[in-house]
Amino acid sequence: MKGPIRLCSWNVTSLIPWLEPSRDFGAHVTALGAPHILCLQEVRVRPGDADAVARMRDRLPGYRCEFSLCNDPRNVKFRGGRAYGVATYTHDSLGTVVGATPAWDREGRVHVTALPDHGLAVVNLYAVNGTSKPYLDPDSGEPRGDRHAYKQRFQEQVFDLAGELRANASVILAGDWNVSRSALDVTPRLRTEEPHATARAKLNDRLAKDGWIDVLRHREPEARRYTWFGRTRTGALDAARVDYIVVSPDLLPRVIDASILDRREQRPGTDHAPLSLAIAR
């Protein structure tokens, strides 16, 4: 695989159906541009399901699979613990791959893939969707506020981690952020009530303070483009841009293309559209 390095990020809303032999996952990945790096969110594979984990590892020949899966029985009991989880596939042509998951991620929301041959570090993330449900310390079981507060802590931890990575590499953060950044990113309306407004303000402030570039917004400042698609009770479109790719400023000159793959046939089985990024080597 030559030419620009291509990355695709996609909230697949369960990888399990794609692990069936009858589904040609490789063909669909090719249709998404045959990316060198594929970041998937919400794979919904439990770490104890050995067969599913093995099939996930082997699902794309020619790619290496790294992942972070949910291992937090105190906070994640629904779906029998089959929730969240991120997986990153990197093509063998990229050379050396070093994968890591931060110790503070117990819900399978963050995986870092370092590509030293290319001076890159890719953070695949599935951010917290804040709710009023209590959040329990995964080790002690003690209450630590609600999941709105946990969402804001998670955002800060991701940016702190990414800042550390910038000391040695150009950094890409790709995934489902579960926050719409502005009124341009939603229809019919932006949620301005608390605590959503504070979570949004903190995210935008950290992006600006640290110099991170929201690639699509940088390239299309006034575009109304969405990555999540639903319907209101009246049948009207209810959509939001909650998935985005953010890069460190030193990487911006290498960006060749960035887009949302929002045709319906490009997002089977999920209400999220994939994202694509191409950067010069």
Q: What is the pLDDT of residue 148?
A: 97
Tokens of 206: 């950290």
Q: What is the pLDDT of residue 78?
A: 76
Which has the closest alpha carbon to 209: 278, 153, 162?
A: 162
Hunting for tokens 């460190």 — which residue is that?
A: 248
Hunting for tokens 């699979």 — which residue is that?
A: 65
In the predicted model, what is the mean pLDDT of residues 137-161? Answer: 96
In the predicted model, what is the mean pLDDT of residues 38-67? Answer: 96
The CA angle 92-98-103, to the nearest 5 degrees, is 140
Cα–Cα distance for residue pair 205/274, rounded to 1 Å: 26
Q: Which of these ranges, 33-37, 54-58, 72-76, 107-111, has the smallest mean pLDDT?
A: 72-76
Cα–Cα distance for residue pair 146/226, rounded to 1 Å: 28
In the predicted model, what is the mean pLDDT of residues 258-264? Answer: 95
Decide: 176 and 242 in contact? Cβ < 8 Å.
Answer: yes
**Overall fold of domain 5-279:** Deoxyribonuclease I; Chain A (3.60.10)
Which has the closest alpha carbon to 128: 71, 73, 177, 162?
A: 177
Decide: 259 and 216 in contact? Cβ < 8 Å.
Answer: yes
Cα–Cα distance for residue pair 18/281, rounded to 1 Å: 30
Mean pLDDT of the chain: 96
Cα–Cα distance for residue pair 23/249, rounded to 1 Å: 39
Contacts of 225 (CB under 8 A, 6+ apart): 216, 241, 260, 262
Cα–Cα distance for residue pair 255/251, rounded to 1 Å: 7
Task: Compute φ and ψ for 198, nearest 5 degrees.
Answer: -70, -45
**What confidence tens digit (pLDDT) does each residue in 101-142 have?**
999 999 999 999 999 999 999 999 999 999 999 999 999 999
Contacts of 153 (CB under 8 A, 6+ apart): none
Cα–Cα distance for residue pair 85/72, rounded to 1 Å: 11
Q: How many helices (H) and strands (E) does the chain have?
A: 5, 17
Q: What is the pLDDT of residue 197?
A: 96
Decide: helix, strand or coil at residue 137. Answer: coil
Q: What is the pLDDT of residue 232?
A: 81
Decide: helix, strand or coil at residue 244. Answer: strand
Cα–Cα distance for residue pair 214/54, rounded to 1 Å: 34
- On whether the pTM is more than 0.85, the answer is yes
- Domains of the chain by residue range: 5-279
Decide: 230 and 256 in contact? Cβ < 8 Å.
Answer: no
Tokens of 237: 């479109």
Decide: 199 and 148 in contact? Cβ < 8 Å.
Answer: yes
- Cα 277 vs. chain centroid, distance in angstroms? 13
